[in-house]
């Protein structure tokens, strides 16, 4: 069976984790800050705050930006539910911005129109969370221009996009955002088994997120309300969570980071082969902008309209043939929970059109040309 995504673990990764198991530290030790520094250097950003998942990072990112009751947060309907749930955790109101069907990413035109309408009704968002679907950055320069015009903050949900670039700068540099969040789930570009990280150039946001991931506790003198009682002393100064990454996770992530560029290069090479192989098929790949270098976490194709009704049967048949085709994602607003919040079918037509036509084909560094030839040949025979 060819999985749609798969981690690549080598002996160096195993040795790194075993070294931690043999050390004095399993939870909060020296490897976590080394991993954070490695990510910060790679992304050309000032601060990186590691957590136990990207969901946790999104949550504390919202909290650090002051999202609370009565605030509005907008994101993309084509994403995993964590992209919007993080705002609900803060008791904020969630809304969505429709996508550009050709890229799967948040539509700048739709965002522009929605912001203009929201200004008239005094319902502007406090935070917008663009989602870099499949590893391709949204048009962050254009979204940042709108942020300056309308006064909202930006969290990049780059869970798919470590190793990607926007205008020659690494995604995660926060050139056009307040905070960027990455995921290290096993099917992502690099893995720490489970884990996430938030990057920022704002020292106050960094400190806030560092506290929030660890119960709201600090031992820094300038954050305390009174002088320290001694070397054991700490204070809880706000309500936080236990969102900390372990030394084991950080060791695996740090080891994987050394191969990040290799993984991304391989993924891009495999996609080039895919694009040639699918050319005669009645499908189209998501459009990649010239000024963006995708990390290609996913390879998504869209069926032509005349074949859209075959989507389910194709995915099932591909799986029966040993190819784990998938679908990323079910539009969030169509989830039953979000139906209870007032969303309904028809609210975001581009996202719904995408969902009718999208198929995710396998893509991971352990694949080869023979796999792609088999996948595309099988796809063609089924059509």
Cα separation, 314 vs 298, in Å, equals 18
End-to-end CA distance of the chain: give it in Å, rounded. Answer: 20
**Per-residue model confidence (pLDDT) at position 73:** 98
Is the backbone peptide bond immediately before 329 cis, with ω within 30 degrees of 0? yes
Q: How many CB atoms lie under 10 A from the CB of residue 27?
A: 10
Q: Where in the chain does DSSP place strands (E)?
A: 47-51, 72-75, 93-96, 127-129, 153-157, 165-166, 169-170, 179-183, 196-200, 217-218, 235-236, 283-285, 292-293, 299-303, 358-361
Q: What is the mean pLDDT of residues 147-152?
A: 98
Q: What is the mean pLDDT of residues 47-60?
A: 98
Label residue 383 by pLDDT band (50, 70, 90): confident
**Per-residue model confidence (pLDDT) at position 232:** 93
CA distances from 190 to 33, 197, 314 (A): 18, 12, 29
Question: Rounded to 5 degrees, what are φ and ψ at 147?
Answer: -65, -40
CA distances from 211 to 157, 253, 254, 373 (A): 21, 22, 22, 50
Q: Are strands 165-166 and 292-293 parallel, antiparallel or unpaired?
A: antiparallel
Label residue 290 by pLDDT band (50, 70, 90): confident
Q: Are 87 and 73 in contact (CB under 8 A)?
A: yes
Q: What is the DSSP letter of 93?
A: E
Q: Is the pLDDT of residue 155 over 90?
A: yes
Tell me the helices (H) and strands (E) count for the chain, helix number first.
13, 15
Q: Are 348 and 98 in contact (CB under 8 A)?
A: yes
Q: Which of 82-91, 247-256, 277-286 has the lowest mean pLDDT?
A: 277-286
Summary mean pLDDT of the chain: 97
Q: Is the pLDDT of residue 289 over 90?
A: no
Its sign, for the CA torsion 93, 97, 98, 102, is negative
Cα separation, 39 vs 47, in Å, equals 9
Chain Cα centroid distance, residue 203: 22
Q: Is the pLDDT of residue 180 over 90?
A: yes
Q: Is the pLDDT of residue 223 over 90?
A: yes
Among candidate residues 116, 95, 117, 121, the one with its CA nearest the CA of residue 106 = 95
Label residue 68 by pLDDT band (50, 70, 90): very high
**Per-residue model confidence (pLDDT) at position 161:** 98
Q: Is the pLDDT of residue 293 over 90?
A: yes
Q: What is the mean pLDDT of residues 57-84?
A: 98
Q: How many CB atoms lie under 10 A from the CB of residue 110?
A: 17
Q: Is the pLDDT of residue 113 over 90?
A: yes
Q: What is the DSSP letter of 223?
A: G
Per residue in 323-339, pLDDT (tens digit) is: 999 999 999 999 999 99
């Amino acid at each position: 069976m060819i999985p749609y995504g798969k981690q690549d673990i080598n002996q160096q990764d195993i040795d790194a984790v075993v070294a931690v198991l043999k050390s004095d530290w399993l939870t909060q030790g020296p490897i976590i800050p080394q991993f954070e520094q490695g990510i910060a250097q790679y992304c050309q950003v000032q601060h990186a705050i590691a957590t136990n998942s990207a969901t946790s990072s999104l949550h504390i990112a919202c909290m650090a930006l002051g999202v609370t009751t009565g605030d509005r947060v907008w994101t993309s309907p084509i994403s995993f539910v964590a992209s919007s749930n993080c705002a609900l955790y803060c008791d904020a109101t969630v809304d969505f911005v429709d996508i550009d069907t050709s890229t799967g990413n948040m539509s700048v035109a739709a965002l522009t129109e929605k912001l203009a309408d929201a200004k008239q009704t005094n319902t502007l968002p406090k935070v917008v969370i663009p989602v870099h679907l499949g590893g391709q950055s949204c048009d962050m320069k254009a979204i940042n221009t709108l942020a300056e015009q309308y006064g909202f903050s930006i969290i990049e949900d780059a869970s798919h996009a470590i190793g990607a670039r926007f205008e020659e700068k690494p995604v995660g540099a926060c050139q056009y955002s307040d905070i960027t969040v990455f995921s290290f789930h096993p099917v992502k570009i690099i893995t720490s088994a489970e884990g996430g990280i938030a990057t920022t150039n704002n020292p106050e946001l960094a400190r806030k997120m560092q506290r929030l991931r660890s119960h709201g506790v600090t031992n820094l003198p300038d954050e305390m309300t009174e002088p320290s009682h001694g070397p054991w002393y700490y204070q809880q100064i706000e309500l936080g969570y236990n969102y900390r990454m372990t030394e084991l996770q950080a060791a695996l992530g740090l080891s994987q980071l050394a191969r990040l560029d290799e993984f991304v290069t391989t993924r891009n090479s495999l996609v080039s082969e895919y694009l040639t192989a699918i050319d005669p098929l009645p499908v189209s790949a998501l459009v990649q902008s010239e000024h963006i270098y995708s990390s290609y976490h996913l390879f998504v194709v869209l069926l032509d309209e005349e074949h859209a009704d075959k989507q389910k049967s194709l995915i099932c048949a591909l799986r029966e043939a040993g190819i784990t085709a998938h679908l990323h994602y079910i539009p969030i607003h169509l989830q039953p929970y979000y139906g209870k919040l007032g969303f309904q079918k028809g609210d975001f037509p581009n996202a719904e059109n995408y969902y009718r036509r999208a198929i995710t084909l396998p893509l991971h560094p352990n694949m080869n040309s023979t796999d792609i030839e088999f996948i595309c040949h099988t796809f063609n025979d089924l059509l």
